[in-house]
Amino acid sequence: MEEHSYQLIDGKAVAEQIKKELAAEVEKIKQDGRKAPHLVAILVGHDGGSEAYVANKVRNCEEIGLRSSLIRFEDDVTEQALLDKVNELNADDDVDGLIVQMPLPKHISSQRVIEAIDYRKDVDGFHPINVGRMSIGLPCFKPATPAGIIELLRHYEIPTKGKHCVILGRSNIVGKPMAMLMMQKDNPGDCTVTVCHSRSENLREMCLSADIIIAALGVPEFLKGDMVKEGAVVIDVGTTRVPSSVTKSGYRLMGDVAFHEVAPKCSYITPVPGGVGPMTIISLMRNTLLAGKKAVFGKEE
């Protein structure tokens, strides 16, 4: 069997580089006498994963010089109380970006909350106006994970034009938007895209015909070595938290790719952690900066 000497896609390093660029832009805004863009995050309840993600967003804002506020609600908050807060923040000119950390408790409709957010402040890119605009290639806020993956492909100059890209997973926040971006007439883009999911037949055959595989199903080590062709590019979006006795936090992250089996077959592969994750955060930071600059939707729109 041919062994590729694969190249590790270092999302952490790329994110650090972009972070410096964003920080320099924020510094310039402040030197011009304007306020730094302001991200507001709403967190409902105390889910460990959500707590960690939001804390990471707030820390990255601080490191880049962006302003951030964290608004907390308990698990038993009513949908109306949450919607009232969203409307208040929509009307607040001092708020540039607004995110509500998902998932929300079952008694609250995530969709109603997402649609309540002013699309001009929707730096998560979840509002149907942003989703629709992205699907037809109009200026919009793009969701953070797919945008981060596009940046990685761009940074490593990985050829995508005419390639077969298989996406595993059809979620609204990764699989579907990723498919849109990979098929877009652009570089990175111009792929032939297949979206596979839990009901797909012939999944192994689909994967074996892929030049690029983006695994985003949330099933630890789902993608095995015998599902990947020689020279493929593999992007691992999985971040399942499993208990661990060896880490300080008491858990570790597991990707959707059986890395040790898959990596030797790849031309490029992302690790977990240190691949897609840091790029996701940085994309949110970039969107917040764009929101502050009114660079996506002008002042009048």
Catalytic residues: 57, 101, 124
CA atoms of 39 and 50, how far apart (whole Å): 16
Q: What is the dihedral of CA 89, 115, 173, 110, to 10 degrees?
A: 90
Tell whether residue 198 is among the known ligand binding residues. Answer: no
Rounded to the nearest 10 degrees, the angle between the axes of helix 128-135 and helix 175-183 is 30
- The verdict on 40 binding ligand GUN (CB under 6 A) reads no
Find the shortest distance in angstroms from Cβ 144 to ligand GUN: 5
**171 annotated as a binding-site residue:** yes
Q: From CA 223, how far away is CA 181, in angstroms rounded?
A: 22
**CA pair distance 274, 187, nearest whole angstrom:** 24
**Residue 239 annotated as lining a ligand binding site:** yes
Under the binding rule (CB under 6 A), the answer on residue 258 touching ligand GUN is no
Residue 192, annotated as binding a ligand: no
Residue choice 144, 168, 235, 296 for contact with ligand GUN (CB under 6 A) = 144
Distance of closest approach, residue 45 Cβ to ligand GUN, in angstroms? 13
Interface with ligand GUN, residue 239, by CB under 6 A: no
Q: Which is nearer to ligand GUN, 60 or 101 (CB)?
A: 101
Name the β-bridge partners of 167.
195, 214
Decide: is 99 part of the binding site for ligand GUN (CB under 6 A).
yes
Nearer to ligand GUN, 54 or 193 (CB): 54
- Contact (Cβ atoms closer than 8 angstroms) between residue 60 and residue 18: no
Q: How far is the CB of 95 from ligand GUN (least distance, A)?
A: 15
Stretch that binds ligand GUN, among 13-21, 98-106, 267-275, 291-299 (CB under 6 A): 98-106
Q: Is 130 in the site for ligand GUN (CB under 6 A)?
A: no
What b/e readout covers 134-145, taking b as 16+ CB neighbours within 10 angstroms? bbeeeebbbbbb
Answer yes or no whether residue 10 interacts with ligand GUN by CB under 6 A: no
User: Least distance (Å) from ligand GUN to the CB of residue 46?
Assistant: 15
Task: Find the DSSP H helices in 48-127.
Answer: 48-64, 79-91, 110-116
C-alpha distances out from residue 185 to 35, 111, 235, 262, 300, Å: 36, 29, 21, 29, 29
Residues that bind ligand GUN (CB under 6 A): 99-102, 124, 144, 173
